[in-house]
Amino acid sequence: MPTRSRTSAWFAAARQPRILGLLLILLVAAGICVRLGAWQLDRAVERSERAALRAAEARADTAPVPLDDVVRPQTGFTQAMVGRSVEVAGEFVQGAAQYLVPEADPAGEPGGLVLAAFRVGEGAGEGAILPVVRGRLDADPADLGALAFRLSPGGDLAAPPGNVRLMGVLAGSEAAQSASGSDGTLGSISPGQLANLWGSPIYGGYLRVLEVQPAQTASLDPAPAPAVRRGGLPLQNLAYAVQWWIFGGFAVAVWLRLVRDEGRRLRE
C-alpha cells in the first residue's frame, strides 16, 4: 500500500467526522473567547472615559482660581489644564475681529461658537491675548453675511467694551484648519493660527466663558464644556482581553495539533 503524502494525510484526517465535529466545538469556543476579549476592551475604554469625565467634572466644580495659577502666555498647555475653572480680568479687544467656529449642538442643530480676543489686564499675563469663547450661537453658518454683521462692533453680538471679569473653564488648542478667517468663520480654535490674526503674546489654550461681570447683553447660549480626552486604558481590563484572545487562539491550535497527530497516524 503506497504511503500517503503528508499533505494528503493531513486533509484526510481533517475530513474525519469526529475531527470536523471537534473543529466546530473549538471554533465556537474560540468565537466566545474573541467576543469576551472585545467585551473586556470595551469595558477598558468605558472605564477610561468615565475616569476622564469624573476628573474633568471635579476640576470644573472647584472654585475658580486666578488664570496665572494654571497657565501663562507663550507656555505649553497640558491635558491636566483642560476643564480647570479660572477667572481673569481684562477687556475684549475692540479692534480685533470675532469669529464663528461652526459646531453643531448635541441634537445636531447648526450653530457655532463665538470666538473673541481678550486682553488680560492683570498678573503675569498682562497685555497678552487670551482666546475666549463667549458662548454658542444657534444659527446657520452658511448665512455668513448676517452673521458677520451681528459679530461686528455695531451688531447685537459685539463684545462688550470696558473692563470685565471672566469666569469659565479652560480648553486645549486644536489643529489649525485651512480657513483663513476672511469670511468670518474659523474651522477650529488654534492659538497658533489666531496669533497671526490677533497678534501675540497669546495663550496656548483658550477659555470657555460661563460668567461675565458685569453681565453681557448679547443673546448667546452658554458654551458647552470642552471635549474630554480619555486617559490610558486600565491595564487589568487590557490584560483580560489579551488573555481571552490567547485562549481563542489556543483552541484553534489544539485542533491543528489533533489533525497533525491523526495525519501522522494515517501515514504509518
What's the confidence (pLDDT) of residue 207?
93
Count up the domains in the chain and report the number: 2
Instruction: Give the pTM.
Output: 0.61
Does 69 reside within a domain?
A: no
Using one digit for the tens of pLDDT, what is the confidence trace for 29-82? 778 878 887 887 777 777 766 666 666 565 555 678 899 988 888 888 887 788
* Long-range contacts, 34-38 (Cβ 8 Å, 24+): 34/244, 34/245, 34/248, 36/244, 37/240, 37/241, 37/242, 37/243, 37/244, 37/245, 37/248, 38/241
Using one digit for the tens of pLDDT, what is the confidence trace for 252-262? 787 787 777 66
Mean pLDDT of the chain: 77
Residues whose CB is less than 8 angstroms from the CB of residue 202 and which lie 6 or more positions away in sequence, other chains included: 73, 74, 128, 129, 130, 131, 191, 194, 195
Q: Does 204 have pLDDT greater than 80?
A: yes
Q: What's 95-106 look like in SS3?
A: CCCCEEEECCCC
Using one digit for the tens of pLDDT, what is the confidence trace for 68-125? 988 888 888 887 788 888 999 999 998 788 888 887 565 666 778 889 999 999 988 8
Same domain, 89 and 160: yes
Mean pLDDT, range 172-196, rounded to an integer: 76
Same domain, 126 and 12: no
Does 204 reside within a domain?
A: yes
User: pLDDT-derived band of residue 22, with 50, 70 and 90 as boundaries?
Assistant: confident
Same domain, 179 and 105: yes
Does 208 reside within a domain?
A: yes
Structural domain harbouring 205: 83-213
What's the confidence (pLDDT) of residue 1?
43
Bond prior to 224 in cis (omega within 30° of 0): no
